[in-house]
Structure 1
């Protein structure tokens, strides 16, 4: 029997090489990747610039930090708003720190001084005025005043930092201003002491050491001495007003009519020449930008804040009741202050140091 031959091996089919036409998709992905990397490289400088421009918001100098107020957050040019609020005592502290920050910041192209103060001590008011004028001189930048609810007496005094700049003092429609004058508070309780058989038996080097004592009636001689002291401070006040309001330098009699301690509404102040414009802080900012020759829409308006902790509040309240504070307040001082009360103020919350 013949055995069948085994099936011969089948030839292996030739391997087919399939070439896919994917070059177009590969090029497309490469283009997308390249655009992505270019975008990343383009964004990095922008992010760094934004970080640098915003870093000043977190910089704190002795408790005072910069805060965005209005305008363009990313702009380089700045207008600084310096706040003078509350009763002015020494002038040091918060106000001085704001002035120093504005002076050191080369991006600040103009300053708006926001005044909301009834005034305070003669020396404190003059101290602030001096440093505001020095800031304006050192940086050669315009300075505009925006009056809030009240800018009277010492508050009006510091507003004269604008000097002879045209259209530089803005007051809101409800602002109270004026009260140009000087006062040394004095109270006589000698009659009450007699009624209760209480005597002041102080030992002093000279009777004038107690010129302002409440326990004795003031003599005509002492009153004349103190009146001359007030008159000299009053003369300086009017001289400062003439520097900020040149029309009064040309007509001093017109200033004498206004400098009686009387307060004025914004409309009355405008009519008498004590202010230039009735407007809000936005108008003052726009005027500052105009004088600085910068675009207000492309400007970062900043202010300076001073955080207050619960510890600070407690410390200030305890200081208000301290013996040192009572002695400080009882010392004879002349005030540019619009008030019918004795200047019993504490470092919180009215003090603007």
Structure 2
């Protein structure tokens, strides 16, 4: 019997041959390529971050809105000086650098809440605040918080001879104009427990501030002259910021005894210009900068503290380097009876 011819031919089967050898080769090449990418990306990112860190002078300090018009271009910057002033580098200097680089900042309010610190650290901050004011040609006003004593008052003199430029809150403590080199004598205690300091030194004066022996009259005279010179500079700086004392130095001598003052006492004596909060200081800065506060953005600067930073600060607080630093003789513009101990609190230091 003859089979009928179908109307449509049977579909042809297409067979794709898998050349396993070539496929495996391409997979190996692709894998090597991805490994290279994964290997190179971290290196490139690391180099970019390193380069950014090298040229970055602010190290994480960021701008934060405080008040005023959020969308305004013109700014009033608040530079915060908080805690014990040690070296002067760090957070305070970073804020100053940010303001210097930001051309939109038209005026500055220095917010001081500090008992002071080292002579060198306080002078370093004052120098850079005055330099900022001169280079940018912008007004600078001071707002005192809970405390602006000794070195805290010293840095407030960055206002120079600008009238109505220092504001103290009603409860501010200020003053404490003076210098101290701490010295503690435990020689009697050592004698009681038969402990002797048998240090070998190049000259007896190398240990003139050692706690293990009494301070001789000769050494006391040498150190007193050192303090007197630092004290003279303090008073000269105050005269620059308070011209009335330059005209009548005896009035400053009456105040420069290390005594602390209330805001009202400081106002009556001419140490400050106004009783007011930071808002009043901002208004004055705007006035000096010919700014409309309703059309100006007021900003502060903050430096985030990570858990790593907290742990590092705690680990550093009692290491030998810090103990040696605490024991090193320093002159202080500070309102405290334990200046060296305070240098171990790294989070409060600037």
For normalisation by structure 1, the TM-score amounts to: 0.82
d(CA) in 2 for partners of 1:288 and 1:93?
Answer: 25
Of 131, 135, 138, the residue aligned with 2:132 is 135
Of 137, 157, 160, the residue aligned with 2:157 is 160
Measured against aligned partners, the alpha-carbon deviations of 1:143-163 in whole angstroms (never above 9, x if no partner) come to 000000000000000000000
Residue 63 of structure 1 and its aligned partner are, at CA, apart by 1.3
Counterpart mapping for 1:7-22 below 5 A: none
Q: Which sections of structure 2, spanning at least 5 residues, go unmatched?
A: 1-55
**In the alignment, does 2:101 pair up with 1:108?**
no
Residue 60 of structure 1 and its aligned partner are, at CA, apart by 9.7
Counterpart mapping for 1:275-314 below 5 A: 275-314=272-311
1:53 corresponds in structure 2 to none
**In the alignment, does 2:209 pair up with 1:212?**
yes
* Contact 1:188-1:216 within 8 A present in 2 as well: yes
2:62 corresponds in structure 1 to 65
d(CA) in 2 for partners of 1:105 and 1:257?
Answer: 42
Measured against aligned partners, the alpha-carbon deviations of 1:267-324 in whole angstroms (never above 9, x if no partner) come to 0000000000000000000000000001011100000000001110000111111100
Counterpart mapping for 1:234-273 below 5 A: 234-273=231-270
For the structure 1 residues 246 and 60, does the alpha-carbon distance in structure 2 shift closer, same or farther, using more than 3 Å as the test? closer
Q: Secondary structure at the match of 2:230?
A: helix
* Contact 2:69-2:296 within 8 A present in 1 as well: yes
d(CA) in 2 for partners of 1:138 and 1:316?
Answer: 35
Q: Secondary structure at the match of 2:253?
A: helix
d(CA) in 2 for partners of 1:303 and 1:333?
Answer: 32
d(CA) in 1 for partners of 2:348 and 2:135?
Answer: 30
1:55 corresponds in structure 2 to none
* Contact 2:57-2:94 within 8 A present in 1 as well: no
1:348 corresponds in structure 2 to 346
Q: Secondary structure at the match of 1:343?
A: helix
For the pair shown, the structure with the greater C-alpha radius of gyration is 1
Measured against aligned partners, the alpha-carbon deviations of 1:17-69 in whole angstroms (never above 9, x if no partner) come to xxxxxxxxxxxxxxxxxxxxxxxxxxxxxxxxxxxxxxxxxx99311000000
* Contact 2:58-2:95 within 8 A present in 1 as well: no
d(CA) in 2 for partners of 1:342 and 1:123?
Answer: 14
Residue 341 of structure 1 and its aligned partner are, at CA, apart by 1.9
Measured against aligned partners, the alpha-carbon deviations of 1:178-206 in whole angstroms (never above 9, x if no partner) come to 00000000000000000000000000000
Measured against aligned partners, the alpha-carbon deviations of 1:190-249 in whole angstroms (never above 9, x if no partner) come to 000000000000000000000000000110000000000000000000000000000000
d(CA) in 2 for partners of 1:343 and 1:286?
Answer: 38
d(CA) in 1 for partners of 2:98 and 2:274?
Answer: 28
d(CA) in 2 for partners of 1:82 and 1:329?
Answer: 28
1:117 corresponds in structure 2 to 114
d(CA) in 2 for partners of 1:81 and 1:129?
Answer: 15
**In the alignment, does 2:312 pair up with 1:315?**
yes
Q: Secondary structure at the match of 1:116?
A: strand
Select between 129-138 and 325-334 the one with higher mean Cα deviation: 325-334
* Contact 1:60-1:66 within 8 A present in 2 as well: no
Q: Give the paired residue count.
A: 294
d(CA) in 2 for partners of 1:275 and 1:122?
Answer: 21
2:335 corresponds in structure 1 to 338
For normalisation by structure 2, the TM-score amounts to: 0.83
Residue 338 of structure 1 and its aligned partner are, at CA, apart by 0.2
**In the alignment, does 2:75 pair up with 1:99?**
no
Q: Which sections of structure 1, spanning at least 5 residues, go unmatched?
A: 1-58
